[in-house]
Homo-oligomer: A and B are copies of this chain.
């Protein structure tokens, strides 16, 4: 007899997509208990910035007129007018550790390692019952031997075997093996309302669902190596493409003096591919790199990690089946050259996580789950197309086709375009989502640069109560709440004060979404938070000048000082320019009204008077409170 446990959501796989989805469970699980915590976004940015290498510039190298390698162009990677954050490069294991810590900081949610799923059943007759557990999964705890990674980790001198891709650093192994030590071989049955499969390119979950994974594997073998280079190549600490007669080398600087190389190793015919891959050694990669960087010296003694791979470009034909969703490599694979694999996977988890969490808790309608495939499949397809465009820039397609190949590898205009698209992807700005119940394409003419479906462009604004300057990304904490962002305009003007006063009076009324959907016993802002960003200078207004509904009073904690902000220049912070309204394309006097989804994507834009349409947005998303109560009482 095996033990049976019940859970709202089961996530299989604890890589970047699984952990991001788990983060939402941790936040939304606790959401109804404590919603006033002001953790910035998911609270890991400072750790990334501290440990990562920030890549500031990229350069193109190629043969000069004399055939010798020569720097051809150099560009900054980071446009401070578009994003506050630069291009940070850091070991995936560290990112996973930061998300794990963020989960631990806000919940008791358990992330188990060394456990595998062995069977999956789904009772389709139960799928339309909100509080049913239609999914049954059998889990088995691996023995210590099965779970123990056989590779040796690098650091100074050691070399990890490249064929096992393991991103966990030694500090985390104990954690990984804990469950195996405590109860090896244990078998457990889990009943779940929802399941998210984040179990990688060879996804067991996807296979159980018989979802086709369409695409093909290209005919090139690539090498990747993280090492501390010994070289006189002058741009070794910059992102570089080095075009040579042997193909194009991609150089990416990393933390701890490491540099990552991507290099094309050889063309293969499809039958012998996997055999060839295993025969490749670290020394073959070293020799190829030496050859490509010649006449510069190149070698290394310290290697942290290396692997050999073939590019498989595949896309799952569907991302969802009933109450089961797939995310990350389980639904899309592509080459790692654009450096977007982990980012794409995290975005998948970031997209599906809050939706499933809110639906499983009975707060949101199950219909919003259909937006997951709608939004992420288009993005995945775009990434695979981008990867296809990158390919010819890195390998000579055929030795015989020398003319075309040389053209491609020297055509920096094209490479530049493709690289800039990669950067936009990495910044998340290519994630513009189509119309759906979560994205209402309205509000034309109100805010030229606030586009429903896209992310809210970050600007630095000043807190009205204390004068501090914060990026808007930090204001919009990822805590599972929707946000009404009231761009209140210039409140020094009587007519504008009147408009905002009318809006606030609506918020306080029984018809407002705050009042209608507030769960019994919870605070007014537990599902939807109102954030005001006005355009008058901070010193022209008092905190107490703002309507009380915009700075909700709490019996224990007084007024909410973190709700009122000003798009005001801050002369001791050069990044806070007071030009947010212009950046967003919003009139400084009349302002605008914006709904942000929990993931910071814009759901709707309108004028301050458009309260009916604003309310209509939420009506399509939230369950009516009666239903919420019923679901809870049945659980």
Contact = CB atoms under 8 A, between A and B. Distances in A.
A542 B156 CA distance: 29
A40 B49 CA distance: 12
Contacts of A231: 558-559
A465 B236 contact: yes
A98 interface: no
A562 to B, nearest CB: 9
Given A86-B572, A232-B559, A572-B76, A50 B56 contact: no
B74 A539 contact: yes
B467 A80 contact: no
Contacts of A543: 234
Contacts of A559: 230-232
A257 B558 CA distance: 10
Contacts of A463: 237
A230 B47 contact: no
Nearest to A56: B467
Contacts of A230: 555-559
A457 interface: no
Contacts of A79: 572
Interface string A525-563: 000000000000001001110000000000111110100
Interface in A453-500: 463, 465-469
A114 interface: no
Nearest to A577: B574
Nearest to A558: B230
Interface residues of A, number: 53
Contacts of A156: 556
B466 A56 contact: yes
Interface in A38-95: 40, 43, 46-47, 49-50, 53-57, 74, 76, 78-80, 86
Interface string A219-239: 000000000111110101110
A466 B301 contact: no
A55 B237 contact: no
B556 A57 contact: no
A228 B557 contact: yes
A388 B287 CA distance: 72
A56 B469 contact: yes
A571 B229 CA distance: 29
Contacts of A47: 46
A143 interface: no
A622 to B, nearest CB: 29
A428 to B, nearest CB: 18
A365 to B, nearest CB: 34
A238 B467 contact: yes
A302 interface: yes
Given A78-B572, A466-B237, A572-B76, A556 B228 contact: yes
A281 B103 CA distance: 40
A253 interface: yes
A501 interface: no
Interface string A560-584: 0100000000111111000000000
Nearest to A232: B544
B542 A234 contact: yes
Contacts of A572: 56, 76, 78-80, 86
A427 to B, nearest CB: 13
A233 to B, nearest CB: 9
Contacts of A544: 232, 234
A111 B471 CA distance: 38
Give the one of A46, A228, A542, A558 with max B CB within 10 A: A558
A272 to B, nearest CB: 37
Nearest to A76: B572
A72 to B, nearest CB: 13
Nearest to A82: B572
A560 to B, nearest CB: 9
A327 B572 CA distance: 34
A74 to B, nearest CB: 6
A466 B55 contact: yes
B466 A57 contact: yes
Interface in A200-229: 228-229
Contacts of A301: 555-556
Contacts of A54: 468
Contacts of A86: 572
A231 B544 CA distance: 11
Given A468-B56, A573-B80, A558 B46 contact: no
A579 to B, nearest CB: 13
A544 B295 CA distance: 14
Contacts of A40: 50
A466 B253 contact: yes
Contacts of A561: 236-237, 257
Nearest to A229: B558
A528 to B, nearest CB: 21
B228 A558 contact: yes
Give the one of A79, A302, A557 with max B CB within 10 A: A557
Contacts of A557: 228, 230, 257, 302
Nearest to A539: B74
Given A40-B50, A228-B557, 11 more contacts: A43-B50, A54-B468, A57-B466, A76-B571, A228-B558, A230-B558, A234-B542, A236-B465, A237-B463, A302-B556, A575-B575
25 contacts: A46-B46, A54-B468, A55-B466, A56-B466, A56-B469, A74-B539, A76-B571, A76-B572, A228-B558, A230-B557, A230-B558, A230-B559, A231-B559, A232-B544, A234-B465, A234-B544, A236-B561, A237-B463, A237-B465, A237-B561, A238-B466, A238-B467, A257-B561, A301-B555, A574-B575
4 closest residue pairs by CB, A with B: A237-B466, A230-B558, A56-B467, A237-B465
